[in-house]
Amino acid sequence: MSRIGKSPVSIPSGVEVKVDGTTVTVKGPKGELTQEIDSCVTIEIADGTISFNRESDAPGHRSKHGLYRSLINNMIIGVSEGYKKELEVIGVGFRATTQGQILDLALGFSHPIVIQIPSEIKVSADTQKGKAPIVTLESHDKQLLGQVAAKIRSLRKPEPYKGKGVRYLGEEVRRKAGKAAGK
């Protein structure tokens, strides 16, 4: 079983962590995030590190111990360094363009798909001749970033025969052989 909850989280310089009852607020150069935590997990801040303790060894308490440690660690990394996801739009005639916080995708449907991206996420689309367009999403909130990236990918998942669709940069798509040629 994982022992993630037992390892302490170090606080980098420029990041401020406040615990107010069951609410944890993390503030840094990239932004501010808050997280509600369960009362079964207690947080102690000392000497630039955060340690997490649980009430008992009950399975629910053990799982929340590791969960809240990971969530707070992701918040600290997010406000200090930030997160970035890149999506590749692969297919003939598939396009991606941005205007401010609006992402416009042409994914082979009869109409373009227009998505309003939340203001916490910085979006850009890079199109180079001869290469697939790349949509870049950057944010300090890892959960929101993953949710928006998954939503964009779900609009046209990569299919296994030609590999067309929206995929994460570097994602491997298992390809299938097509029908065998007739006689």
pLDDT tens digits, one per residue of 80-130: 999 999 999 999 989 999 999 999 999 999 999 999 999 999 999 999 988
Residue that terminates a domain, selected from 18, 50, 80? 80
What confidence score (pLDDT) does residue 148 get?
Answer: 96
Write out the H or E segment, with its range, that includes residue 97: strand 95-99
Residues 96 and 160 in one domain: yes
Query: Is 99 found in the same domain as 42?
Result: no
Helices (H) and strands (E) in the chain, counts: 2, 13
> How many structural domains comprise the chain?
2
- The amino acid at 56: S
Q: How confident is the model at residue 153 (pLDDT cuts 50, 70, 90)?
A: very high
Residue 122 lies in a domain: yes
Which of these three, 61, 80, 99, is where a domain ends? 80
- Same domain as 89, residue 162: yes
Cβ 141 vs Cβ 149: under 8 Å: no
pLDDT tens string 25-84: 999 999 999 999 998 889 999 989 999 998 888 888 888 998 999 999 999 999 999 999
Nearest to 136 by CA among 128, 146, 144, 124: 124
In a domain, 173, yes or no: no
In this structure, are 54 and 99 located in the same domain?
A: no
Task: Please answer whether residues 156 and 96 qualify as being in contact, where contact means their C-beta atoms are separated by less than 8 angstroms.
Answer: no
CB 90 within 8 A of CB 164: yes
